[in-house]
A and B are shown apart, each in its own frame.
Chain A
Amino acid sequence: MLRFVIRRGLQLFIAMFVLSVLLFVWLRSLPGGPVTALLGERGTPESTAALREALGLDEPLHVQYLRFLQRALEGDFGISNGVLRGAEAIDVFLTRLPATIELSIFALLIAVTLAIPLGYVAARRHGSALDTGSVIGSLVGVAVPVFFLAFVLKYFFAIRWGLLPPSGRQSVSIDATHVTGFFVLDGILTGEWDAAWDSFRHLILPAIALSSIPFAVIFRINRASVLDVLDEDYVRTARAKGLQAPVVRQRHVMRNALIPVVTTIGLQIGALLAGAVLTETVFNFQGIGQALALGFETRDYPVLQVLIMMAALIYIIVNLLVDIAYAVIDPRVRTR
């Protein structure tokens, strides 16, 4: 087990190295090169020359790369020139991260609580109208562009019927204290129930839109996995022994069927991050997704650089944790 973790840790190291090289290449291939990218169009000849010098652009490539790496490790990615003018790019990431985490957790909760029971029922009634209907529904869910779904939800629930707020994280009329940056949690911690409830209401629509992709994926994996397990001999044995249906379901079917599902859930982080870019933009929800969209719009490369690197890093690390968790649950993986 330790050897497995060490090997995966080494792979993580290599992955981060390749990622940093890709990011370095990306930054150098931006229109106008890294100087224009970092300064924007307002760069004067003097400041351009100064930054060229500071970045060491006349030095050999490997030296430039090492400098880039050093700056990245120190968290120095430059100053934002679009998303939040004048702020350190890394701070833009840090202040906006809680919003996206809050939204993603909520979206994932919706997806999981719906997809797992539905996947089980669909598999149990394999071939029934419910099964076919939900499979087709999940395929349609993947075919709908996320931002369009977000717009439709916003149009009906917020604009036409006025049931839920159309944008933002919290109403401006609410004067809430912020401790952690997780607005719902903040409201609960400080006992400001109206603030917590208000933030929660702001979360509902974006979370539903964002949950559509993980829902479809988790549903289909869970359904296929339950179908596989239902065919197993030990399930037949359990039934033949006369075990109660709920016991068979909980202890024999779901416990085994959930192994691939747990992996999938962890890996939906990637889809959530990409989906957050679109959903947060539609709902003007101030998370890292909206910062990314704004960054692309304003060509704010310092911020984009941080956000893309962090997004990939989070995804790679979650991947690794899921891998280790997988190996803990299923010993066969370790020897592969």
Chain B
Amino acid sequence: MSTKKERIDRLADAGRVSREEGISLYQSAWLRLRRDVVFLIGATIIVLFVILAAIAPWIAPHDPQAALLIDQVRPQTNPVPGPQDGFPLGADYAGRDLFSRLIVGAQQTLIVGVLATFGGLVGGLTLGTLAGGVGGWADAVVMRIVDVMLSIPSLLMAFSIAAVFANPSQWTVILAIAIVQVPIFARLLRGSMLAQRHSDHVLAARALGVRRPAIVFRHMLPNSLGPVIVQATLVLATAIIDAAALSFLGLGNPDDRQPEWGQMLGKAQDFFNSFPHLAFYPAVCIIVVALGFTLMGESLREALDPKSRR
């Protein structure tokens, strides 16, 4: 119906079993990825990001939650303390060290991205397996709902879902972003399973008398995972950007003790015209990480696409 859907379907198609001799789809993909500059740049960014998130509390010079420079904050004249000794980027409006908050912010940003993607993945896997594996009525009903959800602009849907909660928190942000991803993963998985339904290995399994659940989970699902991984990598990027947009609209987590880049960027809007650096640093972090995931996802997609293999 739409290119959004076509794109999903094309990706679903890419996971079909390779017919190349002696080498699996994943092996051949890996051989290509190893030499792919785009993939290597993306992967390097992501590895550094994950390491940063893991060791952040130990390398941050200050406690990101401590209002160390609060006595320099003058709400009327100088709401944001500038850079100084021991505080290379200065502090935020609550006198907390900006540099430390950026470093520790990697943690929450990673958590939001991963959990939102994971939630969308689990929901989409359930619906997609139901539709693609069972077929018939389940397929028709699930796909109609999925298609309508896909026809609502996704960011708009995330805003609407986030607005349902009276007390927004990190969890409602994650949930809103995750739900938006469910129909995408569901359609992807269903398409990929339908493509396999009449393939030889499923036919062989059926002829051997393997029962349906076993066919679905052991023979069809593993073969569908390639496109799902590609999509998940791309979703990680949008999840982090969307979290920032939610925060910008006041639909994000209001509790900012634990720093998160999207929230830091969203909350910096009040100071943008006089203190743009407050938004600039978290924005650059988000852009670099989102770019890393996008580069990785796009090169994975190309590597897994049988059409582009040479």
Please report A residues at the B interface, Cβ cutoff 8 Å: 11, 14-15, 18-19, 22, 26, 29-32, 139-140, 142-148, 151-152, 155, 159, 221, 260, 263-264, 267, 270-271, 273-275, 277-278, 281-282, 292-293, 296-297, 299, 304, 308, 311-312, 315-316, 319, 322-323
Q: Across the two chains, which residue of chain A brings its CB closest to B141? A: A18
**Across the A-B interface, the 3 shortest Cβ-Cβ residue pairs:** A31-B166, A274-B155, A270-B153
Known: A260-B3, A267-B3, A274-B154. Is A15-B265 also a contact (CB below 8 A)?
no
Known: A143-B290, A267-B2, A296-B249. Is A159-B273 also a contact (CB below 8 A)?
yes
CB proximity of A231 to chain B, nearest CB, Å: 11
Q: Across the two chains, which residue of chain B brings its CB closest to A27? A: B164
Give 30 pairs: A residue, B residue, CB < 8 Å, sorted on A.
A15-B147, A15-B148, A18-B144, A18-B148, A26-B164, A139-B291, A140-B291, A143-B287, A144-B283, A145-B244, A145-B245, A145-B248, A145-B283, A147-B248, A151-B269, A152-B276, A159-B273, A260-B3, A267-B3, A270-B156, A274-B153, A277-B156, A277-B249, A296-B159, A297-B249, A304-B160, A304-B163, A312-B152, A319-B151, A323-B1
Task: Say yes or no for B80: interface residue by CB 8 A criterion.
Answer: no
Task: Say yes or no for B173: interface residue by CB 8 A criterion.
Answer: no
A-B contacts counted at CB < 8 A amount to 134
Contacts of B248 in A (CB 8 A): 145, 147, 278, 281
User: CB-CB contacts of B283-309 with A at 8 A, as 1s and 0s?
Assistant: 100111011001100100000000000
Query: CA A152 – CA B145 in complex, angstroms?
Result: 39
Q: Across the two chains, which residue of chain A brings its CB closest to B4? A: A267
- Contact A144–B287 (Cβ < 8 Å): yes
- Contact A273–B156 (Cβ < 8 Å): yes
Looking at B163, B265, B283, the one whose CB has the most chain A CB atoms below 10 A away is: B163
Which residues of chain B from 119 to 171 have a CB within 8 Å of any chain A CB?
144-145, 147-149, 151-156, 159-160, 163-166
Task: Identify 12 new A-B residue pairs, CB closer than 8 A, beyond the known A31-B164, A143-B286, A270-B4.
Answer: A18-B148, A19-B152, A31-B165, A142-B237, A142-B294, A147-B269, A148-B265, A152-B276, A159-B273, A221-B3, A296-B163, A308-B152
Task: Say yes or no for B241: interface residue by CB 8 A criterion.
Answer: yes
Known: A308-B156, A323-B1. Is A296-B279 also a contact (CB below 8 A)?
no
Q: Which of B2, B154, B249, B294 contacts A143 (CB 8 A)?
A: B294
Q: Across the two chains, which residue of chain B brings its CB closest to A261? A: B3
CB proximity of B161 to chain A, nearest CB, Å: 8
Contacts of A139 in B (CB 8 A): 291, 294-295, 298
Query: CA A11 – CA B145 in complex, angstroms?
Result: 12
Contacts of B298 in A (CB 8 A): 139
Contacts of B154 in A (CB 8 A): 270, 274
Please report B residues at the A interface, Cβ cutoff 8 Å: 1-4, 144-145, 147-149, 151-156, 159-160, 163-166, 237, 241, 244-245, 248-251, 265, 269, 272-273, 276, 279, 283, 286-288, 290-291, 294-295, 298
Q: Which of B148, B149, B163 contacts A30 (CB 8 A)?
A: B163
Q: Across the two chains, which residue of chain A brings its CB closest to B241? A: A145
Q: Across the two chains, which residue of chain B brings its CB closest to A263? A: B3
- Contact A155–B152 (Cβ < 8 Å): no
Query: CA A113 – CA B275 in complex, angstroms?
Result: 35
Contacts of A271 in B (CB 8 A): 153, 155
Query: CA A22 – CA B180 in complex, angstroms?
Result: 13
CB proximity of B271 to chain A, nearest CB, Å: 11
Query: CA A22 – CA B16 in complex, angstroms?
Result: 34
Contacts of B245 in A (CB 8 A): 145-147, 278
CB proximity of A141 to chain B, nearest CB, Å: 10
Known: A145-B241, A274-B155, A278-B248. Is A30-B164 also a contact (CB below 8 A)?
yes
Contacts of B151 in A (CB 8 A): 15, 19, 312, 315-316, 319
- Contact B249–A315 (Cβ < 8 Å): no
Q: Across the two chains, which residue of chain A brings its CB closest to B152? A: A312
Contacts of A315 in B (CB 8 A): 151-153
Q: Across the two chains, which residue of chain B brings its CB closest to A146? A: B245
- Contact A148–B279 (Cβ < 8 Å): yes
- Contact B283–A297 (Cβ < 8 Å): no
Query: CA A19 – CA B151 in complex, angstroms?
Result: 9
- Contact A26–B160 (Cβ < 8 Å): yes
Contacts of B241 in A (CB 8 A): 143, 145
Contacts of B149 in A (CB 8 A): 22
- Contact B1–A296 (Cβ < 8 Å): no
- Contact A293–B249 (Cβ < 8 Å): yes
Q: Across the two chains, which residue of chain A brings its CB closest to B251? A: A296
Contacts of B286 in A (CB 8 A): 143, 145
CB proximity of A226 to chain B, nearest CB, Å: 15
CB proximity of A61 to chain B, nearest CB, Å: 18
CB proximity of A202 to chain B, nearest CB, Å: 18
Query: CA A315 – CA B151 in complex, angstroms?
Result: 7
Query: CA A151 – CA B265 in complex, angstroms?
Result: 11
CB proximity of B306 to chain A, nearest CB, Å: 15
Q: Across the two chains, which residue of chain B brings its CB closest to A32? A: B166
Q: Across the two chains, which residue of chain A brings its CB closest to B266? A: A147
Looking at B149, B156, B164, B166, the one whose CB has the most chain A CB atoms below 10 A away is: B156
Known: A296-B159, A323-B1. Is A145-B265 also a contact (CB below 8 A)?
yes
Contacts of B295 in A (CB 8 A): 139
Contacts of A144 in B (CB 8 A): 283, 287
Contacts of A273 in B (CB 8 A): 153, 156
